[in-house]
Chains A and B, each alone.
Chain A
Amino acid sequence: MSDLTQSFVELVRRAATDLPVDVEAALRDARAREDSGSAAEGALGTILENVAIARENATPICQDTGVPIFYVRHPVGRSTQQLRRQMEEAVAQATERSYLRPNAVDAVTGRNSGNNLGEGFPTFHFDEWDSDALQVDLLLKGGGSENVGAQYKLPHTGTGTVSFSAGRDLDGVRKVVLDAVYRAQGKGCAPGVLGVAIGADRGGGYVHAKEQLFRPLGDVNPEPELAELERTLLQEANELDIGPMGFGGQTTLFGVKVGAYHRLPACYFVSIAYNCWALRRSTLRVEGEEVSFR
Chain B
Amino acid sequence: MSTHHLNIPISEKSIRSLKVGDTVYLSGVVVTGRDAAHKYMVETFIRSSEVPEDERELYADLKRLLGGGVIYHCGPVVRRLPSAEGEGRWAFVAAGPTTSIREEVYEPEVIEHFGLRGVVGKGGMGANTLRACQEQGAVYFHAVGGAASLIADAVREVAAVHKKEAFGVPEAFWVVRVEDFPVVVTMDSHGRSIHDEVEAASSAALERLVSS
Contacts and interface: CB of A to CB of B under 8 A. Distances in A.
Nearest to B36: A110
Interface residues of A, number: 57
B194 A247 contact: yes
Interface string A251-294: 00000000000000000000000001110000000000000000
- Chain A contact surface mostly: loop
A39 B1 contact: yes
Interface size class of B (residues with CB under 8 A): 35 or more
B198 A185 contact: yes
A142 B94 CA distance: 14
A37 B1 contact: yes
Contacts of B202: 182, 185, 240-242
Interface stretch (B50-58, B76-84, B112-120, B130-138): B76-84
B169 to A, nearest CB: 6
Contacts of A248: 194, 197-198, 201
Interface in A89-121: 98, 100-103, 105, 111-112, 114
B148 interface: yes
Nearest to B99: A144
Interface of B: 1, 21, 23, 74-79, 93-96, 98-99, 101, 122-124, 142, 144-153, 168-171, 182, 184, 186, 194-195, 197-199, 201-203, 205-207, 209-211
Interface of A: 37, 39, 42-43, 46-47, 49-50, 53-54, 57, 59-65, 98, 100-103, 105, 111-112, 114, 142-144, 147, 158, 161-162, 164, 166, 175, 178-179, 182, 185-187, 189, 236, 239-243, 245-248, 276-278
